[in-house]
Structure 1
Amino acid sequence: MDADFEGGSSGASATYPIQASALRKNGYVMLKGRPCKIVDMSTSKTGKHGHAKVHLVGLDIFTGKKYEDICPSTHNMNVPNVKRTDYMVLGNNDGFLTLLDDNSEQRNDLKLPEGELGDSINQKIEDDEQIMITVLMALDEEQVIALKPQTK
């Protein structure tokens, strides 16, 4: 009986629990249902009801929106499984990037990001420059977050 463990992208494995007191700045956490990077955190002393509280401030890794949450330090918080992947950019087809991964597999389903990053990716494609992009993936969402020249 062969079990197929390929492509573990079920919703259950999108996050994992970690005790709030074990979270660290620059780590990831789910705040208000969104995957966030922790930019600030502080722990209050135990009050008369006995629980230290952790105050978390995070920025949504996709939108940059700021979220805050307070929870007891002994409670578990969900941490998103965040994956970074680098792709070689082959072109832009109607706003969708044509990309090549490390296994030489092509994909055409990632949208060109808006704003400055998208503009500079487009410019480099037009200039026939070889570039790589970094894609951040969490909770079935993915977004281009960085651009770098390709090095062989």
Structure 2
Amino acid sequence: MADDDFTSGDAGASLTIPQQCSALRKNGFVMLKGRPCKIVEMSTSKTGKHGHAKVHLTGLDIFTQKKYEDICPSTHNMDVPAVTRKEYQIVDLTEGFLSLMDDSGVIREDLKLPEGDLGKEIDKKFTDGEPFMVSVLSAVGVEHVIGLKTTNA
């Protein structure tokens, strides 16, 4: 008992929750091959000789849009990621990192400018001085800027 370390810990909230495979729905979220995915297609096979109907899931990674597939017996549990989306106002853009402010005025500077067309569009709008918000999606401890919304301020 003397060598237990209680100096740090968390509330025990899990990054995923188990859910029965048959309860999953299209446009919902599920972990496929260890990645948080949005279900884009699912089909259920009939009960076979060994008793379980199988569910065939196809999902797109919510951050990379890469396609993943999996087959699971309908009675088994699959992990469902806790996905949150939050809007931030852009305050600054320095060396590829965004300074973002939430509704309560808290500023965070830990998110990178996304790559590709979205990153170019954010950079252009910021340089032109246009008011806009960015959407940040977070799941399983990962956060990414996934979109922007023009505001009329």
Aligned pair 1:51/2:38, yes or no? Answer: no
The range that moved more, 142-151 or 119-128, is 142-151
Aligned pair 1:75/2:76, yes or no? Answer: yes
TM-score by length of 1: 0.91
2: CA distance, partners of 1:21 / 1:115 = 37
For 2:96, give the aligned amino acid: G
1: CA distance, partners of 2:65 / 2:95 = 26
Could you tell me which residue of structure 2 aligns to residue 3 of structure 1?
none
Could you tell me which residue of structure 1 aligns to residue 62 of structure 2?
61
Runs of 4+ residues deviating >4 angstroms: none
Could you tell me which residue of structure 2 aligns to residue 35 of structure 1?
36
2: CA distance, partners of 1:137 / 1:62 = 9
1: CA distance, partners of 2:55 / 2:102 = 39
Gaps of 5+ in 2: 1-9
Could you tell me which residue of structure 2 aligns to residue 107 of structure 1?
108
2: CA distance, partners of 1:57 / 1:112 = 29
Q: CA deviation at 1:90?
A: 1.1
Could you tell me which residue of structure 2 aligns to residue 132 of structure 1?
133
TM-score by length of 2: 0.91
1: CA distance, partners of 2:46 / 2:103 = 48
Q: CA deviation at 1:147?
A: 0.5
Confirm or deny: 8 A CA contact 1:87 1:134 kept in the other structure: yes
| Higher Cα Rg, which structure | 2
Aligned length: 144
- Considering only aligned residues, what root-mean-square deviation do their CA atoms show, in Å? 1.3
2: CA distance, partners of 1:151 / 1:107 = 23
For 2:55, give the aligned amino acid: V
1: CA distance, partners of 2:82 / 2:60 = 16
2: CA distance, partners of 1:77 / 1:122 = 39
Confirm or deny: 8 A CA contact 1:88 1:150 kept in the other structure: no
Q: CA deviation at 1:150?
A: 1.8
Q: Write the deviation string for residues 97-135 of structure 1: whole angstroms up to 9, x where unpaired.
A: 011001100111100000000000000000001110000
Q: CA deviation at 1:151?
A: 4.1
Could you tell me which residue of structure 1 aligns to residue 25 of structure 2?
24
Confirm or deny: 8 A CA contact 1:97 1:110 kept in the other structure: yes
Q: Secondary structure at the match of 2:69?
A: strand
Aligned pair 1:148/2:149, yes or no? Answer: yes
Gaps of 5+ in 1: 1-6
